Structure 1
Amino acid sequence: MRLVANARMYSVNPAAAATWKELFAWLSSGSGISLDVIDHAFPLPLSELWSRRDLASAFMCGFPFVLAAHRPRPVAAPVPASALIPGKAVYATRIVVRADSRFASLEDTFGGRLGFTVEDSQSGYNALRHHLLPYYRQCGKRLYRESVGPLFTPRRVIEALLSGGIDAGPLDRYALDLMIRHQPDLARQVRVVATTEPTPIPFLVAGSDCPGEVIAALQATFAKFDHDSECADLRDRLCLAAFAPVAIEDYEIFARWDAEARDAGYDQPG
C-alpha cells in the first residue's frame, strides 16, 4: 500500500506548498518509504485527512489531537527557526491588526470585531481565548462587539483583516513567518499587537494503523534534517531549524485551557 503525505496546515501560499512537496520528496528518498503528496485543500475537512488509514505524514494541531477519541500516531514536530524558546518545538499566536489601523495595543481593539479560525484550533481559537480570559474576568463581559468566524485558515484571517471584515485576528506565529518569507510585502500590511505564551506546535502524524517500522524510518530521517547539507535551502525556505520527537504529555495543557475558559463562561473568544 502506498502512503500519503500532506502539509495543508502550513501550505500558506503556493511557494510554501511547493517547498513542502520538496521536503516530502527528501523524506521519501531518505526513509525508503514511498509517499504520495496529496492535495486536501480547504474546504475539505482536516478530520478526514487525519483519519486516513494510508496517512504517513500530515500536520495536526495539538488541540484536536488531545480531544480525539482515536488519535493518529505522532511522527515528528517542527522546530521553527525563530522559536520563542530556541531549539524547542513551540509556537504562539500573534494577534494582528492592519498596519494602517488606529490600534496601538490589544486593549485598543476591544469593542471591535475579532476573527477566529475554527473551534478546534489551538492558535486560532483556544490560545486566543486563553490570552483574553484575564481581560474577560476583569471586565465581567465580552470584550468585542462581534466574533467573526469560523474563518478556518490563517490566509482567510488576513484576507478578512485587510478587507475590513475584522479589526483583529489570530495568526499562528510560524504560519505568519512562512507567509512573510514568501510574501515580504505582507510584513508592511499587518501589525502585531499581542503574542500569546508559547505552547507545543502542531506536529506531523500518521494513521493510527501505520506500521511501527514505517514511523521509525520517517523519524530517523526527520532527525537528520537539521544537519543534512542537502536541506540547507529547505531549512531557509521553510523557516525551520529541525524536527524533534513529539512529547505528547506537553499537549495536555490545551485541554486544561479549554476547561478553564468554559468554567469561566467564556466559551468563544470575543
Structure 2
Amino acid sequence: MPVANARMYSATPAGKAAWHRILRWALDEAGLPWEVIDHDAPAPLSALWARDDLGLALMCGLPFARRQPPAQLVAAPIPSPGRYGGRPVYCTDIVVRAGAPYRVLQDTFGGVAGYTLADSLSGGVAFNLHLQPFRSARRPRLYARTVGGLVNARGVIDALAAGTIDVGPLDSWYHDQLRRQDPAFAARVRTVATTAWRPLPPFVATAPLAAGELDAVRAALHAATQAPELAADCALLLLAGFAAPPARDYAALADPGPLTAFEDL
C-alpha cells in the first residue's frame, strides 16, 4: 500500500498538521486508502526518498532528477506569495543573523559559511553555484571555513543565531512558511541575496500507481486547495494550488553545473 508524506515542507508542528489534513483529505477524495506517515527529523530525508512505496511524497528536485529507477512526478505545489508569480518554482534565500553588520553577500566573504547537506539543492548546491562567479584566480577561496551537516533551514538559523556561522542558505518557500508560522524564530535572520529560480520540489510516487490513480490524486490535490474546510491550512502553508509540470523541467537539475568542494569555498 503506498504512503504519503510532506516532511520536506513541514516547517513547524502546525505546518506538519496542516499538511497531514490536506493529504488525508485529498486521499479520501481520490478514494485511496493510503496512510499519511511521519518521517520526522533527525531521520534523514534520503531514507524516505529511497523507499519504493511512496505514493505522494515531497522530494527535492536534485534526487528526483537523479533517482534510479525514476520516480513519477505527481504534482508540484504553487506557493502563494507574490514573488513566485503563481508558478511552481522556488529559490534559495542567502541569509545572515538579523543583527549582523553585513549589507550584501560580499560582506560575508572571509567569514564562516554554513550549509545543510552537500546533496541538498536549496541548502547546499544552489548556494555553491551562486558563489562561483565571485571566485577568481586571485580569490579562489571566499570563506575562511565552511560548516556542513546543518540538516535543514532550522539548523542554519540556529547556527547563525549562535554565531557558529556568518551566512547560510534557506529554501525560500520553507523560509516564507517559517515567517508565517513562527515569525519570532524567522526574525533571527535576514536575507542578503537570492539565487536563481528553479523548479519547486514536487510530490512524487515511487510505487507503481494503478490506472486512474495518478489522475485521481492530481484532481484531489487541486480540489483540496479549493475546499473551504482546508482554507486555513492552505493559508498557513502559503499554498495556492498545484501544477503538473513535465518531469523534463527537472532534468537539468541532475547536473547543476561546476561546483567547488564545500571545504574549499
Task: State TM-score, norm by structure 1.
Answer: 0.91
User: Which piece of structure 1 moves more, 95-104 or 181-190?
Assistant: 181-190
Distance 1:225 1:87, change over 3 A: farther
Q: Is the 8 A contact 1:55 1:210 kept in 2?
A: no
* Partner Cα separation in structure 2 for residue 206 and residue 100 of structure 1: 42
1:227 counterpart letter in structure 2: Q
In the TM superposition, what are the counterparts of 1:202-241 in structure 2 within 5 Å?
A: 202-241=201-240
Task: Report what 1:125 is aligned to.
Answer: 124
Task: State TM-score, norm by structure 2.
Answer: 0.93
User: Which piece of structure 1 moves more, 61-70 or 135-144?
Assistant: 135-144
* Partner Cα separation in structure 2 for residue 139 and residue 217 of structure 1: 57
Q: Is the 8 A contact 1:105 1:194 kept in 2?
A: yes
Report Cα offsets for 1:67-88 as digits up to 9, x if no partner: 2222221111000011534111
Distance 1:99 1:138, change over 3 A: farther
Question: By how many angstroms is 1:180 displaced?
Answer: 1.3
Question: By how many angstroms is 1:188 displaced?
Answer: 2.8
Question: By how many angstroms is 1:47 displaced?
Answer: 2.7
Distance 1:33 1:71, change over 3 A: same
Q: Could you list the runs of 5+ residues in structure 1 that have no partner in the other structure?
A: none
Q: Is the 8 A contact 1:206 1:215 kept in 2?
A: no
Report Cα offsets for 1:103-149 as digits up to 9, x if no partner: 11100101111111112211111111111110014754111111101
Count of residue correspondences: 264
Q: Is the 8 A contact 1:92 1:198 kept in 2?
A: yes
2:264 is the counterpart of 1:267:
no
1:261 counterpart letter in structure 2: P
In the TM superposition, what are the counterparts of 1:109-258 in structure 2 within 5 Å?
A: 109-137=108-136, 139-257=138-256
Task: Report what 2:60 is aligned to.
Answer: 61
Q: Is the 8 A contact 1:53 1:210 kept in 2?
A: no
* Partner Cα separation in structure 2 for residue 161 and residue 80 of structure 1: 26
1:252 counterpart letter in structure 2: A
Distance 1:40 1:129, change over 3 A: same
* Partner Cα separation in structure 2 for residue 124 and residue 115 of structure 1: 9
Other structure's SS at 2:135 match? helix
Report Cα offsets for 1:46-83 as digits up to 9, x if no partner: 23322323321111000111122222211110000115
Identical columns (%): 41
1:193 counterpart letter in structure 2: V
Other structure's SS at 1:65 match? helix
* Partner Cα separation in structure 1 for residue 37 and residue 207 of structure 2: 18
Tell me the C-alpha RMSD between the 2 structures.
1.8
Distance 1:212 1:42, change over 3 A: farther
2:41 is the counterpart of 1:47:
no
